[in-house]
Amino acid sequence: MSKSTTCCFTGHRFLDRSFDSTCLKSAIEAMIEKGVDTFICGGALGFDTEAAVEVIKLRKKQYKHIKLHIYAPCQGQDSRWNARDQRLYREILSRADYVDMPEIPYNNQCMKIRNYKMVDNSAYMIAYYDGTFASGTGQTVRYGERCGLEIVNLYGANE
């Protein structure tokens, strides 16, 4: 995996009416046109799940060369999710080309460590960020900015 051809995703767990999967698909395709061939996703509910599913769909339909890497924050990330979301998470994990799952239980730093690792291994970021300062997504976007990533924010893209 080359950092220069890698894009990570970050976004909120709860998606509002501004979320548009068509805009997500277009953003991923635009990254592919730039030469991106690897997409890193944190595997959380919400935007992460939508992004991983879209990469899987695009890979199946026309971009067979792209890869999906999941950087989970800890073991049992899905332990408190409902059964449907747990099944989808396990399906995503089974279709990923690479899964990085630290052998640690949840702790108060595991999400930040995961997010920073995704940024450190990427040149691009697709975000769904509503501007909320006190959020993991906000922290990740700001870190990506400091690291010089090219960032596409899809929040409000369909308005």
Amino acid at 115: N
Distance of CA 118 to the CA centre of its chain: 9
64: in domain: yes
Residue 48, domain member (yes or no)? yes
Q: What's the Cα-to-Cα distance from 42 to each of 33, 57, 102, 116, 159, rounded to whole Å? A: 23, 18, 12, 11, 26
Q: Given 3-state DSSP classes, what are the helix, strand and coil percentages for the chain, each rounded to the nearest 5?
A: 40, 15, 40
**Banded pLDDT at 159 (limits 50, 70, 90):** low
Whether residue 41 contacts residue 55, with contact meaning beta carbons closer than 8 Å, is answered with yes
Domain total in the chain? 1
Measuring CA to CA, how many Å separate 57 from each of 64, 66, 143?
Answer: 10, 11, 29
- What average pLDDT is seen over the chain? 95
Whether residue 129 lies inside any domain: the answer is: no
Residue 131 domain-assigned (yes or no)? no
* pLDDT tens-digit series, residues 31-76: 999 999 999 999 999 999 999 999 999 999 999 999 999 999 999 9
| Separation of alpha carbons 43 and 143, rounded Å | 19
The distance between the two most distant Cα atoms of the chain, rounded to a whole number of Å, is 41
3-state secondary structure of 64: coil
**CB distance 147 to 118 below 8 Å:** no
pLDDT at residue 120, rounded to an integer? 98
List the CATH number of the domain containing 75: 3.40.50.450
Confidence of residue 17 (pLDDT cuts 50, 70, 90): confident
Q: What pLDDT digit, counting tens, does each position of 110-134 carry?
A: 999 999 999 999 999 999 999 988 8
Question: Structure pTM?
Answer: 0.95
Does 132 fall in a domain?
A: no
How would residue 143 be classed by pLDDT, with cut points 50, 70 and 90? very high
